[in-house]
Amino acid sequence: MARFLARRLVLLAAVLLAVTFCGFAAMNLLGDPLVNVVGVLAELDCEAIAAGTAQDTAVDAAGSDCDTVAAAKAQYHLDRAVPTRYLLWLGDMLTGDFGTSFQNDQPVSAVLREKLPETLMLLVMAQIVSVGIAVPWGVIAAYRANRAFDRGSTVASFGLLAVPNFALGVVLLYLLALRWQIFPSAYESGDFASRVFSLVLPAFTLGLPLAAGYQRLLRTDLITTLQEDYVHMARAKGLPPMRIMFRHALRPSLFSVVTVFGVSTGTLIGGSLVVEQIFGIPGIGREIVTAVVRDDFPVVLAIVMVVAITFVVINFLVDLLYSWLDPRVRTR
Amino acid sequence: MAGFELASGGPLLSVRDLRVRFVTERGAVNAVNDVSFDLHEGETLAIVGESGSGKSVTAKTLMNLLPRTARVSGEVRFDGQDVRALASCGAKHFFGVQMTMVFQDPMTSLNPVKKVGEQIAEGLRYHLGRSRGEALSEAENLLADVGVPEPGRRVSQYPHELSGGLRQRVVIAMALSCRPRLLIADEPTTAVDVTVQRRLLDLLDGLRRDRGMAMILITHDLGVARGRADEVAVMYAGRIVETADAGTLFGDMRHPYTEALMRSIPRIDDPVHHRLDPIPGRPPELIDPPDACAFAPRCRYARHDCHDGVPELSGSVGMHRFACLHPTGAERGQAALAANRAAHSSSRDGDGGKDGSGNSGKPDRGEKPDGGSGKPDDGGSG
């Protein structure tokens, strides 16, 4: 177990290094970050000005533009080569300093602290919704395989999978928030309960299509498991159908669902970008959209890193789940 | 069919005119046809036949384990109760308590993700309302009863940590946990090592005797039935073709198929390098079977009249019954055999004979009554 954990931690570190390096390179090579900090001033030829061969555009009491540029360069290490900058950023990051946002000079860690909880809460709620719906749905569909309920649920699940998040979100919003006014139509900050409550609709928007996907997988695996001899044996023991379903058939049938659960975390984060926009949730989904548009790379990098950590950690938990699901994995 | 003797004094299990059909895309499969038998308390019935003969389907029908696509008709009574009605209304505490079943493959009949002890304890807890602790200690005793060494350690192991023979013992312990009155054992030793087969069978037989339990032993090996069964029913192509008490069946078998099965068993007193006598051809397809004796294409006694309708099982339940027009050991059978031999040797001069000459010195098997045309396994197109 300790070795398993250690291997996982090394893997996590490797993934994070790769992800941040690629992100850093992309942000630095595809555009000049200096432009994003000081705007047109980046085009000033300060060396020429210093040599006296060119004129500084605006010299006033606040100091020369070249001073501004030099200060910005120093603040963001923009006077160094890109690899050096990466290492400096990495070092700062390890001490908890994610740099400052280009947009508003806020420290990135403050941005994360403010926006991350909402998004994580949304993701957790979405997964709770999806699993909570998918398990009973898949069980009933498998139990009544190829009968009316199962056929209907096949149609329904393909429908849910085909509808894009924003459409589903808008429909839910219209019906449950505007028409019947059960849930708030927009995010309400405030105490924990009201925040959770206002995340219910977004969670369903994200969770329902996932539930449809999980349901398909679970149904198929359950139908296979129900043909197994040990299920026949359980029936020969005279156990009632639902007890057999939950105590014998369900656990061995969860592998695909659990695997996809881990992988779908990525999809879910992508989906939350859209859903946060629709419902006006101040989460990192919205944050990253504006940050990318404005080439605010400290923020983008920090969010990319958070997403990568979440993804790796979830899949690590999935691996732990495998060994709970099947004792044969443990001895390997 | 004739009425049943109900409740006490009557048979423990009484099956009448059992039919099972599966509707498939290729047509209806008549897996079980007109199967009737009685089984008395504490006795063993062996159902013997090749794979595809319908013996396992019969067992699964009794246990209500068939898929929904199966069309079942006929009557199954357990101690006077209508089993199929009980099953369809979801009666609690019948299966597993009154009758239960052991499957062929111990590697797949235990749940891989549950501890052995939990699986044995499960029935005890559900049916008999034992607490978890009580049930687990009973499971330990049961494991000891079925000869599992170190039962205390085994209860907390997973199936994959046990050998095939041990797993089958666990399955048996599981089946016996609630002291059923009838155990159906579906080829319980086919999938385990040859070296432990005999020990397992003797164990089952001993447990049956100790507990006064009735047993249906399903096997493809007449040798397994010998000495362990009180009654034997031989099945072929979904029908019982011969049934009698064990002494009569082994001493005075009448159906050519029973005889052929008997001759295909290796015997300890056979000479070394003695060739076994296999049954030529394959069992027939059960989709749209011809209206004829299903064994006729593989039968050396078969005559033209074997292709005119399915022979009826003679006599009534409980007697020595067989479904054959030319039974072996009877005048009609010997006459048919002689006639076939004569026809065969004359046709062999003509078309060279399909059996080859590898069998010289022994009577040839599988002659076609109608002159040896076609292969012996052409599915009974008579």
Q: B162 CA to chain A: closest CA distance, Å?
A: 12
Assigned domain for B154 exists: yes
In order of A23, B63, B272, B367, the CA distances from B275 in angstroms are: 76, 39, 9, 19
List Cβ neighbours of B113 (8 Å cut-off, separation of 6 or more): A251, A252, A325, A326, A327, B158
Please state the separation of Cα B92 from the chain's center in Å. 27
Contact criterion met (CB < 8 Å) for B65 and A248: no
Query: A91-95, B218-222, B282-286: which has the highest mean pLDDT?
Result: B218-222
Assigned domain for B210 exists: no
pLDDT at B372 exceeding the cut of 50: no
Q: A314 CA to chain B: closest CA distance, Å?
A: 23
Contact criterion met (CB < 8 Å) for B110 and A326: no
Q: What is the pLDDT of residues B53-69, one digit of tens each?
A: 899 999 999 999 888 88
A248 Cβ under 8 Å from any chain B Cβ: yes
Predicted local confidence at residue A50, as pLDDT: 66
Count interface pairs A-B at CB distance under 8 A: 82
Q: B84 CA to chain A: closest CA distance, Å?
A: 14
Predicted local confidence at residue A110, as pLDDT: 86
Rounded distance, CA A159 to CA A72, Å? 52
A234 Cβ under 8 Å from any chain B Cβ: yes
Residue A307 banded pLDDT, cuts 50, 70, 90: confident
Contact criterion met (CB < 8 Å) for B105 and A326: no
Predicted local confidence at residue A303, as pLDDT: 86
Predicted local confidence at residue A182, as pLDDT: 83
Q: Give the closest of B101, B112, B160 to A252, CB-based.
A: B112
Start-end of H helices in chain A: 2-29, 33-38, 46-51, 65-75, 82-94, 108-143, 148-162, 165-172, 192-198, 200-226, 229-236, 241-244, 255-279, 284-293, 297-325, 327-330
Predicted local confidence at residue A59, as pLDDT: 54
Predicted local confidence at residue B349, as pLDDT: 58
Assigned domain for B196 exists: no
Assigned domain for B4 exists: no
Q: What is the pLDDT of residues A208-257, one digit of tens each?
A: 999 999 999 999 999 999 989 999 999 999 999 899 999 999 999 999 99
pLDDT at A291 exceeding the cut of 70: yes
Predicted local confidence at residue B114, as pLDDT: 92
Interface test with A, best of B23, B107, B109 (most A CBs within 10 A): B109
What letters, b where the CB count within 10 A reaches 16 and e where it falls short, cover B329-352? eeeebeebbeebeebbeebbeeee
Residues of chain A with Cβ-Cβ distance to B63 below 8 Å are 235-236
Mean pLDDT of B24-45: 91
What letters, b where the CB count within 10 A reaches 16 and e where it falls short, cover B244-273? bbbebbbeebbbbbbbbbbeeeeeeeeeee
Mean pLDDT of B185-211: 87
pLDDT at B169 exceeding the cut of 50: yes
Say which amino acid occupies B153: R
Assigned domain for B321 exists: no
Residue B125 banded pLDDT, cuts 50, 70, 90: very high
A7 Cβ under 8 Å from any chain B Cβ: no
Predicted local confidence at residue B241, as pLDDT: 94
Beta strands in chain B (DSSP E): 13-24, 27-39, 44-48, 70-78, 81-82, 99-102, 182-186, 214-219, 231-236, 239-245, 321-322
List Cβ neighbours of A50 (8 Å cut-off, separation of 6 or more): A66
Assigned domain for B167 exists: yes
A232 Cβ under 8 Å from any chain B Cβ: yes
Residues of chain B with Cβ-Cβ distance to A331 below 8 Å are 160
* Residue among A327, A205, A213 nearest A278 (CA): A205
Rounded distance, CA B133 to CA B121, Å? 9
3-state helix/strand/coil string of A58-111: CEECCEEHHHHHHHHHHHCCCCCCHHHHHHHHHHHHHCCCCCECCCCCCEHHHH
Please state the separation of Cα B219 from the chain's center in Å. 5
Contact criterion met (CB < 8 Å) for A237 and B174: yes
Q: How many domains does chain B have?
A: 1
Assigned domain for B149 exists: yes
- Judge whether A211 and A160 are in contact, CB under 8 Å: yes
Predicted local confidence at residue B8, as pLDDT: 55
Q: What is the pLDDT of residues A151-203, one digit of tens each?
A: 999 999 999 888 888 888 888 888 888 888 888 877 777 788 888 888 899 99
Please state the separation of Cα B171 from the chain's center in Å. 19
Mean pLDDT of A4-15: 81
Return the DSSP state at A26: H
Q: Which residue has the higher pLDDT, A187 or A120?
A: A120
Predicted local confidence at residue B346, as pLDDT: 74
A239 Cβ under 8 Å from any chain B Cβ: yes
- Torsional sign, CA A279, A280, A283, A285: positive
CA angle B134, B136, B137 (to 5 degrees): 65
Rounded distance, CA A264 to CA A249, Å? 24
Helices (H) and strands (E) in chain B, counts: 11, 11
Predicted local confidence at residue B4, as pLDDT: 42
Instruction: Show the domains of chain A with their CATH numbers.
Output: 2-107 (no CATH), 109-330 (1.10.3720.10)
Residue A54 banded pLDDT, cuts 50, 70, 90: low
Contact criterion met (CB < 8 Å) for B110 and A248: no
- Judge whether B59 and B105 are in contact, CB under 8 Å: no
Rounded distance, CA B10 to CA A320, Å? 57
In order of A80, A136, A210, A265, the CA distances from A130 in angstroms are: 47, 11, 6, 12
Residues of chain B with Cβ-Cβ distance to A327 below 8 Å are 112-113, 158, 160
Q: What is the pLDDT of residues B64-118, one digit of tens each?
A: 988 888 999 999 999 989 998 888 887 788 999 999 999 988 888 999 999 999 9
A319 Cβ under 8 Å from any chain B Cβ: no
Q: Which residue has the higher pLDDT, B135 or B349?
A: B135
Q: Which domain holds residue B140?
A: 107-179
Residue A55 banded pLDDT, cuts 50, 70, 90: low
Predicted local confidence at residue A62, as pLDDT: 53
Mean pLDDT of B147-151: 92
Rounded distance, CA A147 to CA A161, Å? 21
Q: What is the pLDDT of residues B333-366, one digit of tens each?
A: 888 888 888 887 776 655 444 444 434 333 444 4
Q: Which residue has the higher pLDDT, A332 or A147?
A: A147
* Residue among A198, A201, A203 nearest A271 (CA): A203
Return the DSSP state at B157: S
Residues of B at the A interface (Cβ-Cβ below 8 Å)?
60, 63-65, 90, 92-97, 100-101, 103-105, 108-114, 122-123, 126-127, 158, 160, 171, 174-175, 178
- The rounded percent of chain A whose pLDDT value lies above 90 is 23
Contact criterion met (CB < 8 Å) for A248 and B114: yes
Predicted local confidence at residue B288, as pLDDT: 79
pTM confidence score: 0.78
* Residue among A322, A218, A316, A307 nearest A268 (CA): A307
Predicted local confidence at residue B48, as pLDDT: 94
Q: What is the pLDDT of residues A60-117, one digit of tens each?
A: 545 567 777 777 777 777 777 788 888 888 888 888 788 788 777 788 888 888 888 8
Average pLDDT over chain A reads: 83
Assembly ipTM: 0.80
Predicted local confidence at residue A286, as pLDDT: 82
* Residue among B87, B65, B92, B89 nearest B75 (CA): B87
List Cβ neighbours of A117 (8 Å cut-off, separation of 6 or more): none
Predicted local confidence at residue B44, as pLDDT: 95
Q: What is the pLDDT of residues B309-342, one digit of tens each?
A: 889 888 888 889 999 998 988 888 888 888 888 8
In terms of CA atoms, which chain A residue is nearest residue B61? Answer: A236
Assigned domain for B158 exists: yes
- The rounded percent of chain B whose pLDDT value lies above 70 is 88
Rounded distance, CA A149 to CA A136, Å? 13
Return the DSSP state at B289: -
Interhelix angle B132-145/B116-128, nearest 10 degrees: 120
A229 Cβ under 8 Å from any chain B Cβ: yes
A88 Cβ under 8 Å from any chain B Cβ: no
